[in-house]
């Protein structure tokens, strides 16, 4: 659940958070959603998909808007680039999730560390 246990103080957590924030600056262009390979017939009566049943493969980017799944066709020329963008988005999600966990740990430790400091003086 929480991998930052009691032995770690807030100073260390803040350093870790700051290093992750720096990593955010290294992330390139990104796009949310999932790349999906779709096989379908084109409708041309002279095409192999109509005559032999071999379907055409194409990629779509599926994403949600207000709970409704939308799809965008990805041209063949952009497939590799969109795949990289999608990988960058996954990195972004991991880093922001980690930063959020660290911030929650800092919030939880704040009161206990403040009490310890007050008791020492």
**4-62 confidence digits (pLDDT tens):** 554 678 888 889 999 999 998 899 999 999 999 998 888 788 887 777 778 888 999 99
pTM: 0.74
Reported in sequence order, the residue ranges of 1-121 that DSSP labels E, i.e. its strands, are: 34-40, 56-65, 68-74
With beta carbons less than 8 A apart as the criterion, state whether 27 and 88 touch: yes
State CA 55 to chain mean position distance: 31
């Amino acid at each position: 659940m929480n991998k930052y246990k009691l032995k770690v103080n807030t100073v260390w957590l803040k350093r870790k958070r700051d290093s992750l924030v720096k990593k955010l600056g290294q992330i390139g262009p990104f796009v949310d959603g999932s790349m999906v390979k779709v096989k379908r017939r084109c409708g041309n009566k002279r095409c192999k998909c109509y005559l032999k049943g071999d379907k055409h493969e194409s990629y779509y980017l599926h994403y949600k808007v207000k709970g409704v799944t939308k799809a965008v066709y990805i041209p063949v020329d952009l497939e590799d680039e969109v795949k990289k963008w999608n990988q960058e988005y996954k990195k972004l999600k991991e880093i922001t999730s980690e930063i959020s966990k660290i911030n929650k740990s800092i919030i939880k430790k704040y009161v206990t560390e403040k009490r310890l400091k007050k008791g020492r003086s």
